[in-house]
Amino acid sequence: MDYMDSGMKYTPNKGQDIDWDQDVTFLPAADGKKLEKKKGPGRVGAVIGIVIFAAVIALMTGLLVWHFHYRKDTRIKKMYSGSMKITNQVFEDTYENSNSTEYRALAEQVVKQLRTLYHKMPQLAKYYVGSSVQAFSEGSVIAYYLSEFDVPHGQEAAVDKAMSSMDKVVDKVQRGLQNSRPGNDLLFEDIMNSALDSRMFSESFSEYYRYSEHTRANTIVPIMSPGFPNTPYPPNTFTQWQLRADPGHVLKLDFDTFNLEEDCRNDFVKVYDSLVAIESHAMEEICGYHSPSSPLIFQSSRNVMLVTLVTNNENNYPGLRAHISQIPRNSKELTCGGQLSGETGLFTSPNYPNYYAPNTKCEWDIQVPAGKSVKVKFSTFLLSELGQENTKDCNKDYVEINNKRYCGEPPTSPVVTSDTNTMKVVFYSDASYVDRGFSATYETFESTDQCDSTQISCKNGLCKPQFWECDGVNDCGDDTDEQNCGACKAGELTCQNGKCVSEKKRCDEKDDCGDGTDESDCGRIMNNVQCSDSTYKCENNKCTNKENPECDGTPDCEDKSDEANCDCGRSLFKTSRIVGGQDAEEGEFPWQVSLHIKNAGHVCGASIISQHWLVTAAHCVQDDAKTRYSQPGVWEAYLGLHVQKQNSKNVQKRNLRQVISHPYYNAYTFDNDIALMELDSPVTFSDYIRPICLPSPQHTFPQGNSVWITGWGATREGGSGASILQKAQVRIINSTVCNRLMGGQITSRMTCAGVLTGGVDACQGDSGGPLSSPGTSHMFLAGVVSWGDGCARRDKPGIYSTVTKFRGWIKEKTGV
């Protein structure tokens, strides 16, 4: 029985699986001496002495009673997981069976060795409770263990530091053992440990489930959450699967069903490149719903893997099912890097578009014809990792080209060029946290190629339109177009209004910029912030200077009103970051509405903002000679619809009670192009029907930010409407640049978004639909599809009504 089977209560000498050490040292009794009777200073002195002595005794008694009875025990249970390589042992198959004699004997030696190590470190010895071995694996033999410490409050950091320095003690102990030529002592190296995620040994757990699976050649082993597929997974449980492959193989973990609560603070799965939950070997933490059409596949770096599932006491979901298989290490599937030649070609990170494995290194040597240069373009670049805060250093997972490292999720995919006809590309992943990786193409180019007079010549060899220069977006991919833009001097902050102020004035509780830039996003609640057009106003009429504070999971207002009414902007699906097909998943954008004219079909889109109200475009509800679009009786609203003309069980149809077009809508300029629709009866929210969050009037959607457009409109200019809901990712475009491109037709109530190279845009039939902008954990309605010059034309972005400009009007008419 291990800690998981015993509800995390360690009982020394109870059961046979865990033999906790019990080194107990008793304090020696005081050496009593006879008290000699001596002459006192007199009767009065004796009385005073007795009174003082009684007072001292009473005080000491009170302190002792308080200390042992009333004082709270402030000790904290700390669990550490770890592994060590035993170099003088050879792995046996019996070590896979925790009930075998061989397993128990070796486990006992490991526990003894750990006790010896901890007792050589004073900071650990006094708090050490015990250890248990969780598993063994090949190479020579790797032991995986858990150790428990009972740590006084305030000493946690000291214990963490001591645990992190164990390698020094290990070296000293090993040298001693080698010099003494031990007979039965274990020799070990590569010892590593980390504090166990506290969520994995919660006292609230009512059930523990532990499974072990060993897949073989040509065999696929299924694993599934408890109760799957008949019932949701149980509450307050910890489940783990220890997975193994044959030696010389790696594991492939393929989830075909994954449906957990969307907040990882509640229910989550964690995958480890290990047989115990060592955080330095964590590959990914996952929650929410993942579509079968967006694969969720992981590979291990060795022949072991651990999958854990933690659930709390609320909102239990269907759960998960995955399939385990093994891949030979020498298979073509696992090879990467090599020689690349020719005029052009494609290469990707291993396992792309699925997660690459940890501990991977690939090198590509690209060579193009002599006299040419090499250009590498990344169409997808996803190398984010927990703990890699500084993407300039890229000290964890990265791609390296020309001695420069790239990592994270850059807003624009990198483009890199060489000065010669060769280039080396290196991909590296460390032992923890993996991502989807990259897809890249290489091609030749003439280094003497010149851009024409209307273009910027980027340092990487690209040519970009001149009007993209100094628009705040890195269009070149190497910042050429954003350099020398007349920015403020070193040590100064550039305000949004162009003013320069000293960096020392940032977050000093004074609006030195005059537009709130220097006091925005200061990461604290400001009780005396002067309200302005750029500050967020709380319900109590006080203001906070944090940029976009609403629904970000952190209360920034004293009355916490910025986190109220946040049951919005969440979808069943996690929107895929992979650039690819345009079909949206069912439930991916649950606020999307299809507006039909009765007996005529889909005409416009709309967005759900409450159980009673929709937002759409004013130009959708203007009468013409044939149809009175302004009248609610001609409309039908389909909510939860995914495929046109397919009314599934997830669809709800509503008629309209009223249509409210903005009073200042201009049919010639499309200014104020927004309208409201009230449903004739409230809609029932579900996984497929949910509202999108409305931004505050002060909410900002910065240029360059990625946003989503959705609808059933024409998939090309002049084409027919789509059957399946379409999605496309575009970015917010600088309003000055946009106004220049659109011939001066952009007003302050319009937002531009698109891909200026063309090919991605909203089109006829998408009108009135949402421009959805991802926040911290919620989607916000940034705009309403309004107009454009054709569809998806080069240098012709889509134009959207800016919702923040109409927030007061929406509130006045709907109460939302």
Which residues are tagged catalytic?
619, 673, 767
Name which of 309, 467, 447 is nearest 797 in CA terms. Answer: 467
- Which amino acid, residue 612? H
Inter-axis angle of helices 166-180 and 101-119, to 10 degrees? 110
Token pair 């040509």: residue: 218
DSSP per-residue letters across 497-556: TS-EEEGGGTTSSS-SSSSSGGGTT-SS--TTBPP-TTSEEPTTS-EE-SSS-TTSSS--
Token pair 């002060």: residue: 698
For the sheet with 373-382, list strands across it: 344-348, 437-445, 373-382, 415-417
* Whole-number Cα distances in Å, 696 to 222, 516, 526, 700, 747: 47, 16, 18, 9, 20
Distance from C-alpha of 126 to C-alpha of 128, rounded to nearest angstrom: 6
Six-digit token pair at 138? 């090949």
Q: What share of the chain is helix, strand, coil (3-state, %, to 5)?
A: 15, 30, 50
Burial group, residue 73, by CB count within 10 angstroms (0-12, 13-18, 19+) = exposed
What DSSP designation does 806 have?
G
Q: Using DSSP bridges, classify how beta strands 404-406 and 141-152 pair: parallel, antiparallel or unpaired.
A: unpaired
What DSSP designation does 383 have?
B
- Which amino acid, residue 236? N
Token pair 């015990």: residue: 130
Q: What does residue 164 show for φ and ψ, rounded to 5 degrees?
A: -70, -15
What beta strand segments (E) does 87-166 contain? 128-138, 141-152
Cis omega (within 30 of 0) for bond into 369: no
DSSP per-residue letters across 287-340: -SEE-TTS-EEEE-SSSEEEEEEE--SS----EEEEEEEEEETTSGGG---EEE
Q: How many helices (H) and strands (E) are present in the chain, helices listed first?
A: 7, 42
Residue 381 near residue 407 (C-beta atoms within 8 A): no
What DSSP designation does 677 have?
E
Six-digit token pair at 50? 């007795």
**Cα-based angle 726, 731, 737 (whole degrees, multiple of 5):** 130
* Whole-number Cα distances in Å, 241 to 224, 446, 762: 10, 54, 46
Cross-strand pairs, 770: 784
